[in-house]
Structure formats: C-alpha cells, structure tokens
Structure 1
C-alpha cells in the first residue's frame, strides 16, 4: 500500500453526530446491533492501494455511523494485507473507539501453502484467527466467520473450532458464510448444543442473485440468526455505471478478477435500465434502490458495501432513508427480475 507521508491527514476527530446518521438493527435474537450499512474491506485495502485513501474511507464511514468493518484473512492483495493495513489505520485513528467498533474477520479460503491453510479444520481456523489478530493489532474480533463450507471436514469439527475461539476470548460471536439452508440449520444446532449461538450468516445476495430467498432466509428467520448480505450491487452492475458502456476506470475494465466485461451482456443492461427507471421514480439512485430492496426484509440485519471513494459512502448510506416499497413497485420489480 502506498503511503503519502509527505501529505499526512490531520488528527482524526470522530463526528459527534455519527450515530444520528445511521439506523441499527438487532442481529437475530441477540443483543448485538449492526448498522444497516456495513463496510467491507475486500477491495482497496491491499498493498496495491493508497493508505491515505483507505484512511479517508474508514473515517467517513465511521462519521456516518458505520461502526462495523468486515475483513477476512485473505483480503488483499496479497493475502493478509488488508488486515495489516486496517491494523495500521486502526492504530492511527480508531484505538480510542475500539469499544464502539464491530470488527469481523473470516477464514475458509486458501491462505497459505500446504494442507493446513485452507477450508475448515480446527487447526486452520484457530491458527488463522491468531494470525488475523496479530495483523490487526487486536486482542479479539467481534465476529469470526467460517468463510465457506468445507465438504470434507466434519461440521462438528468446524463449529467446534468456532466455539473454542469464543471460549478462548478471541471472538465474541461467530458466524458462517455461503452455507446452504440445510447446512446452516445443522451448524445452528451444533453450536446451540455447545452453548455458543450462531449469531449471523453472511451470504451473497443482490437483486440479481437471489438464491437466499429459496430457503435460507426462512432458516435464518425461524432460528433467530442474523444476516449480512455481501455484493449487494453485484460488483457494480446495480449502478448506473455501465448503462452507457464500460468506463475506462471501472472495475470491469481494470480488474477482471471480480466483474468481467463479458458479464455485462446487452440483455442484462436492458434489465438494469428498467430497474434504473424505477429507482429514478423513487428519487433514488439505482445503487440506493438495490440496497433498499434488501433492507426491506427484516431478516436482513445489514448490507455490506465496498467503495473506492469516500464520497460513495454518502450515496450508499442515503439508501436507508427509503426502504419501503409499494405493492405495485414490488410486483413490477419482481416481473423485471423474473423475466
């Protein structure tokens, strides 16, 4: 990460009205509240990014009442660098606010060579959490997730590792990500028997990717499990960015790891244009409407966004001002999405 030491930022003073800018929801049946908008550090916090920009993003987020920062062991590039850089920013700007912050990390994807640096074994999860805490300079994380299902490790072992992290004081709460409905139910029951609640599920969910509506949300709702949706803007597709082609500075043009130009097919752009028209009629940007569409469901605790500029946070946070949809709007949007 590039450091602009020749142009340091002034000492950070958090906005006194920050909690008046955000709405908060209880996470399932727990006593923990999450902001309706949370900030993910998946992009723009690796060693290829600008530390000053990262500090501006985190500062603006906190000033808007976004007190939840979400990381993972392999966020970067390279792996681990997002946590390292977050730790540097935390030390400079946020140490005094630790008890106001909700900091999460995860493990489950490829992290280091050999048989013990991937998936869901107890050895991998415990070691990964220890490494994450060291990189960020923290004594504990507020939430630690298993980042993806492991088809080979017994679920009892993986959930047992999460339970162990809570009992060791390394995590206050635990969650899972991208688990199917039936495996979510099993994980919930295993953790419940151990005395450690399954606090939260982090699924990929957007207007264009609605798999969670086929059973997962019902499991979460019936068991009192919270949820935080990632990729709500479908890597930028659910914005007006691509309606007139692919901008040279866009993610699709610069970074093919996530959103590929081939995904932006003419029929997809036509669908997005129709959604954009509805958003305009609601006096929202398309991005705002896409976030609001998820938040209209009380089973969604928070929506996890990523930004490349601090100013984008203001646009996204404005979505919480209008999360109500009329019966007619819901019917029309579902007709467009299901076409």
Structure 2
C-alpha cells in the first residue's frame, strides 16, 4: 500500500465546502464539484512545481476536490501525473478520501503497438503506470480517452471493467465518443456489471456538438457529463476581444489547437457580442461561458485549466451567477446561430 506522511505546512481551508455545489453524476451516488481542475497544461516537467502546488492547494481550498489527469498530460508525457504525485506526497495525501482523482489512456504514450489505442494490454499497463506516477493506490475514475476504431469496443469496455474489479479504479468513463458509440459502450458495461459513470466531451458556446444526440444518449443511460474546453482554448475570454494580440501564441502559431483561422472576423464578432451580454450580467466573458455550460442540465461539472491561482479564483467566482433569463439565452442563441 502506498502511504505518504502529510506535510504539516498545508492545512486545507476549513470552509472549503461552504460555497461549492456538488451535483450528482448522472444516476450514480457520486457527486462532483461544479468546477474541476484539469492538469492538461501548466503542470508538466517544463512548468513551475511551486506554481502547480499553489494552484492545486488553492483549488482544493475553494472546494474543487476533483483533479483531472491523463497519461499523456505534460509536457513531457506523464509529467503532469508525476507533478500531482509529488503534491500528494508533500501534503495533499492527508485528504485522499476527500478527493476525486481521475486519469485516462488512449492516445499515444510510448513506442510500439502497445502504447496507444483501446486494447486491454495498453489500458491496463497505462493505468498501472499512472497509479505509480500519481502515488495513489486507486483512481476514482479511469477513462478510455478516445474511441479506438481498430479495437473491438467489447475489449475496451472489458478492460475498463477489469480495472474496476481489480481495484485499480472505482468508476469508469469515456471521452469524446459519439452518441452511437456511447450508447453501445454503456450497454456493454451494464452487461458486465460496471456501469458507465461519466462522459468527458468538448463543449462550449462555440462548439455545441454534444447537443446533437449525445446529451440525449447520456440522459437516457443515466450517465453524467464533465465537459472540457469550456472557454474554447481561451477564445471565450477577454484576451481576443480586440483581435489577436501580435505577441500571442495564436499569432505565432504556437497555441495548441488554436490558430488565426479559429479567430476569424465572424468569430471575433460573436465573441464581442457575447461579451456585451456578460457585462450586463456583471460577469467577465469567461465567467459567463462557464455559467452557460453549467446551465445544460446534463452537465455535472466543467473542467477548468489555469496557469496561475488568480484564474482559478476568477472561475470559481462565476458560480455566484449561474442563472440565465429566457431573454439572455435567446440572445446568446441568436449570436451563435
């Protein structure tokens, strides 16, 4: 059994659960915070450990007790899990039973045919590696990170079932599966006796694909949704209201998954129109964008990213105003149409 001595320098805020809500995930008994912290960027080997530690501690102090990882988060691959494991060892492990820790496998991780995909060989080996890096005995949630068309879905789901039955995880999830794949995965897992807990799709004001069949599938199957990229890689923030800054990563072609083509004149016009609605609500555009995804009844939690503590605090402040009037929702739909 993996054990760590708690770091006496860190004591969690006693009021950490007073302002955060914890909706039930689908039809399960598990509750997740409305906001979860994703460690995709800014927690890798190339980043500041002190900053990562401060962000993780501050998030927990604010009631964010769910930390979302994957085997290939970094850079380098695996290093975000190693960073999280170090923070656990230094002080957070004392609160392990209050935490939801999740990881995933599916994308390329190591050379050769067994370092990618949805095979039982890869998923189980990757899960074991991730557990070691994170310094924990089990994951609360383990995901198939992406659908693998070259592996029978039955094999991928049987691997997730085995990961639960062997004590490596408590629950299982899938990420970025389409509606038909989701329904099939849920049926297979139900037959195995390990229900599908959660789906992790991309969802934001500028990318609403889950509304075309996926949310119906999740509602029918009693599966929760935790959405990533709620700010559309930063497009739904005030960063681009005046256009693309010349010194930005997008302008230099360095922004992952975001380029000048994603910030064309029509998109920038929508972003500015949305910002005007946010201002009338007394929110920043980013805060309204978070409130908007949480307004979808299927969504249990939204994964936020951060590069500094202030961004986490700003995101949590969005929870102070989650209600939308019918007129606001109509105006938003008209802008996005």
What TM-score does the superposition give when structure 1 sets the normalisation length?
A: 0.95
Cα 1:251–1:174 shift into 2, 3 Å:
farther
1:70 to 68, 71, 77: 68
Q: How does 1:46-57 map to 2 (within 5 A)?
A: 46-57=44-55
For 2:267, the equivalent position in structure 1 comes to: 268
The separation in 1 between residues aligned to 2:309 and 2:141, in whole angstroms, is 25
Contiguous gaps of at least 5 residues in structure 2: 1-6
After TM superposition, the runs of 4+ consecutive aligned structure 1 residues lying more than 6 A away are none
For 1:3, the equivalent position in structure 2 comes to: none
Cα 1:67–1:198 shift into 2, 3 Å:
same
The separation in 1 between residues aligned to 2:23 and 2:231, in whole angstroms, is 21
The separation in 2 between residues aligned to 1:68 and 1:247, in whole angstroms, is 33
Q: Deviations over 1:76-135 (max 9, x none)?
A: 111111101110111112010000000000000000000001010000000000000011
1:199 to 163, 188, 197: 197
Residue 32 of structure 2 is aligned to residue 37 of structure 1: no
SS at match of 2:170: strand
Shift of 1:257: 2.4
For 2:14, the equivalent position in structure 1 comes to: 16
Q: Deviations over 1:267-294 (max 9, x none)?
A: 2111100000000001111011111111
For 2:185, the equivalent position in structure 1 comes to: 187
For 2:148, the equivalent position in structure 1 comes to: 150
For 1:6, the equivalent position in structure 2 comes to: none
The separation in 2 between residues aligned to 1:250 and 1:88, in whole angstroms, is 31
* Preserved contact between residue 8 and residue 91 of structure 2 (Cα < 8 Å): no
The separation in 2 between residues aligned to 1:130 and 1:335, in whole angstroms, is 48
Shift of 1:251: 4.5
Residues matched between the structures, number: 330
The separation in 2 between residues aligned to 1:311 and 1:101, in whole angstroms, is 22
For 1:134, the equivalent position in structure 2 comes to: 132
For 1:296, the equivalent position in structure 2 comes to: 295
CA RMSD of aligned residues (A): 1.4
The separation in 1 between residues aligned to 2:16 and 2:154, in whole angstroms, is 41
Structure 1 range deviating more: 249-258 or 127-136? 249-258
Shift of 1:38: 0.3
